[in-house]
Every structure is written in structure tokens, then in C-alpha cells.
């Protein structure tokens, strides 16, 4: 166009965000299996968790040990649905994060992530997942210490993971520590004691947020 400045587009010095690589299915299963195991050992289950909870967990555990990670994740999906049912005692924080999320219907523009680019939404979700894993690890290590399970090495891994997550994003060393913690704890957990009967439904009892 005559008279228009012939100026090249401005260049940004900011490096593009590196695309995140998906975690292997065995890592995804491990990160859900161990905190679910601890959740079934909590003192809130009077007489032990009901078979409706222990059966999907046992299927997930058996599938994980036989390297059927898709089967393990499917059984853990069922367990997360069971955890969300109002007939059971409400899970305390942070273990309630193991329940299947049931978001309330809201207009899309109310979602704080609505205006983000797909890459930014992915990065924000990855950060939330990492923070959730850290909270679950903190709860599991605290439970282990309170129940006489050796956890000094796990506490050290937890501290290192917390330090790694203090950086922006989710550095690779974070999950290296978290996965080592889950692997170490898995070998020390006792079997959940199954209750012979399911508790009566709590009619009209609102579920905790």
C-alpha cells in the first residue's frame, strides 16, 4: 500500500513453550493407585470399606501388577465413581480429589480458562494435576507416619518434590520424585480390610465440596 511503512513483523524474544509429553500409562496408574490404596485404609471407614469399594481397587491392583495399565486405569475410574457416591463417608482432604469430578453446569464464559489458548489450558491443567499429586503425597506420607510405617525416605522425596514444584510449570524432576515416592509407599501398605456389609445410605446428606 503506498505510503505504508514497509516494516517486518516484530519478533518476540520469548521462547515458545515446549509441548508437554504425555505420561506413560503405568505412571498414570501408579499415581492414582497408591493414594486410592491409602484412601481405603483411612480410619473413616468404620469396620473397613465395603466390597463395592474394595473390589474395583483389587481389580486395579491386579491389573497394575500384571502390566495391564489400561485395565488398572479403567478400574480406578470405577472406584472414583464409587468414592463420589453419597452413601459412603465423605473422604477428607486431600483424598476427596480421588472422586470423579462432577462440575456444576455453568456458562462457558464463567470458566476462568475459557479465554486461554489450547496450549495455555494444557499447561494450566498440568500444573493443577501436579499440585493435586503433591497434596495427595503429603496426605499419604502423613498417614503413613501416623500409622507406624517407615516414611523418612518418603518425606525426603516429598520435600524435594515440593521444592521442584516451586518453579514455574512442572519440571521433569518433580515427577521423578513423586513417582519414586509412590513406588516406595506401595510396597509398604497393608491390605485394606473389607467390610462384610455396606453402610446404610445417608438420605439427604449433602456431599462435601
Least confident stretch, 15-24, 41-50, 144-153:
15-24
Residue 169 lies in a domain: yes
Higher-pLDDT residue of 24 and 47 is 24
| pLDDT tens string 147-160 | 999 999 999 999 99
Q: Kindly state the average pLDDT of the residues 40-46.
A: 94
- Number of independent structural domains in the chain: 1
Q: Among 8-17, 20-29, 96-105, 126-135, whose mean pLDDT is lowest? A: 8-17
Sign of CA dihedral 198, 199, 204, 206: negative
- Taking phi over 0 as left and psi of -120 to 50 as alpha, with beta for the rest, 58 belongs to alpha
**Phi-psi region at 64: left, alpha or beta (left = phi > 0; alpha = psi -120 to 50):** alpha
- Domain of residue 54: give its range: 25-101+119-186
Domain presence at residue 112: no
Instruction: With respect to residue 191, please indicate whether it lies within any of the assigned structural domains.
Output: no
> Exposure string (b/e) for 30-68, b if CB count within 10 Å is 16 or more?
bbbbbbbbbbbbeeebeeebbeebbbbbbbbbebbeeeb
Q: Is residue 175 included in any domain, yes or no?
A: yes
Q: pTM of the predicted model, to two decimals?
A: 0.79
Any domain includes 58? yes
Residue 206 has pLDDT above 60, yes or no: no
Residue 197 domain-assigned (yes or no): no
In percent, the amount of the chain with pLDDT more than 90 equals 65
Residue 94 lies in a domain: yes
Compute how many other C-beta atoms are within 10 angstroms of the C-beta atom of residue 71. 16
Does residue 140 sit within a domain?
yes
Q: How many Å apart are CA 180 and CA 45, to the nearest integer?
A: 28
Amino acid at each position: 500500500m503506498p505510503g505504508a511503512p514497509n516494516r517486518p513483523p516484530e519478533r518476540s524474544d520469548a521462547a515458545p513453550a515446549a509441548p508437554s509429553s504425555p505420561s506413560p500409562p503405568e505412571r498414570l496408574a501408579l499415581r492414582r493407585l497408591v493414594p486410592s490404596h491409602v484412601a481405603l485404609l483411612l480410619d473413616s471407614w468404620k469396620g473397613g470399606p465395603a466390597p463395592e469399594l474394595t473390589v474395583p481397587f483389587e481389580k486395579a491392583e491386579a491389573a497394575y501388577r500384571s502390566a495391564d495399565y489400561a485395565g488398572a486405569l479403567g478400574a480406578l475410574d470405577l472406584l472414583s465413581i464409587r468414592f463420589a457416591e453419597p452413601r459412603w463417608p465423605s473422604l477428607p482432604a486431600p483424598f476427596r480429589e480421588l472422586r470423579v469430578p462432577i462440575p456444576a453446569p455453568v456458562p462457558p464464559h464463567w470458566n476462568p480458562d475459557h479465554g486461554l489458548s489450547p496450549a495455555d489450558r494444557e499447561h494450566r491443567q498440568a500444573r493443577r494435576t501436579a499440585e493435586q499429586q503433591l497434596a495427595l503425597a503429603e496426605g499419604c506420607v502423613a498417614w503413613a507416619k501416623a500409622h507406624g510405617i517407615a516414611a523418612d525416605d518418603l518425606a525426603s522425596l516429598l520435600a524435594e518434590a515440593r521444592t521442584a514444584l516451586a518453579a514455574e510449570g512442572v519440571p521433569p524432576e518433580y515427577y521423578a520424585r513423586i513417582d519414586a515416592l509412590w513406588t516406595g509407599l506401595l510396597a509398604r501398605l497393608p491390605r485394606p480390610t473389607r467390610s462384610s456389609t455396606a453402610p446404610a445410605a445417608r438420605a439427604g446428606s449433602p456431599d462435601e465440596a
